[in-house]
Structure 1
Amino acid sequence: MAEQTGIHWDRLKRHDAGGGRNINGNVIVVKAARDQEAGVWFVESSDVPGLNLEADSLDALADQLPGAILDLLEAGGGLGDGDYDVPVELIAHASTRVRLSAA
């Protein structure tokens, strides 16, 4: 079933945080970036095809992830049998500049 969503569960990173392995051993990785001009954080890439979100803050983006990921997996038939947790790792990057002047 997971193949319908484009997610290859066997290729996702394995998660084991101090013995806290989840049932299926997978983690969904989401990479976020900051668009300085628009003033928003957005999903740059993820293990979930079609995950396109943006928000004013990184916290707001993180809050949107579980519902959006669940919706996409349900729509694509990518949910397995039973109830289990899959960790979502949000990796964010932003850049800025500092002006240096010769003294």
Structure 2
Amino acid sequence: MPRSEFIVRVEWDDEAGVWYVSDSDLPGLVAEAETVDALREKVIARAPELAELNRHLIDWEPDEDIPVHLMVERLDRIRVPS
């Protein structure tokens, strides 16, 4: 199905100590970084080339802006004192 926007899901890898792309509407998008901002920069830098390579999947015209939604998820746990 053609896309006019991309959703990029980002999760925290506690063991590796990095944020990473866990799922994406943009085929081929793989990235990780120590901060969400650094990961966002990598995603934005790589997205145009990947969009071009996957043009057949995208409802998009050249030189048109495509929204990229970065969905960040991190699970933390707390303990409530008794």
Give the TM-score category using the shorter length: 0.7 to 0.9
Between the two structures, name the one with larger relative contact order (CA 8 Å, sep ≥ 6).
2
Q: How many residues align?
A: 79
1:92 is displaced (CA, Å) by 0.6
Task: Measure, in 2, the Cα distance between the counterparts of 1:40 and 1:30.
Answer: 16
| TM-score, structure 2 as length reference | 0.82
SS in 1 for 2:48: helix
Structure 2: state its 5+ residue gaps.
none
- Residues 77 and 39 from structure 1, CA distance in 2 versus in 1: closer, same or farther, beyond 3 angstroms? closer
- Is the strand fraction higher in 1 or 2? 2
Output the amino acid matched with 2:79: R
Matches of 1:45 and 1:77, distance apart in 2 = 16
Following TM superposition, the consecutive aligned residue runs of length 4 or more in structure 1 with deviations greater than 2 angstroms are 79-82, 99-102
Gaps of 5+ in 1: 1-7, 13-25
For residue 67 of structure 1, what is the aligned residue in structure 2?
Answer: 45
Q: In the TM superposition, what is the alpha-carbon distance from 1:31 to its structure 2 partner?
A: 0.5
The sequence identity of aligned pairs, in percent, is: 34
